[in-house]
Amino acid sequence: MSFQSERLIIRPTLEQDAELIYQLMNSPKFIQYVGDRQLYSVEHAEKYIQDKTPSVTFSWIF
């Protein structure tokens, strides 16, 4: 499930995002302020996405 406005899209992280996740989590500022997640390749990022990101389910209460 995703949410979209004119300027923003919110959706679950997908395996196709591995390159971006790899680059983001290996940036100096990310490592400095968040920590080293030890992602040494795009393949590690794919595994991280599979193992660490929650499968998203939404429950709506009306």
- pLDDT by residue (tens digit) across 1-35? 788 999 998 888 999 999 999 999 999 999 999 99
Task: Among 1-5, 6-10, 40-44, 58-62, name the one with the lowest average pLDDT.
Answer: 58-62
Q: Are 18 and 47 in contact (CB under 8 A)?
A: no
Helical packing angle, 42-52 and 18-25, nearest 10° = 100
Neighbours of 21 (CB within 10 A): 22
pLDDT for 54: 75
Between residues 54 and 28, the one the model is more confident about: 28
Q: Are 26 and 39 in contact (CB under 8 A)?
A: yes
**Structure tokens belonging to residue 50:** 């599979």
| pLDDT bucket at 59, cuts 50 / 70 / 90 | low
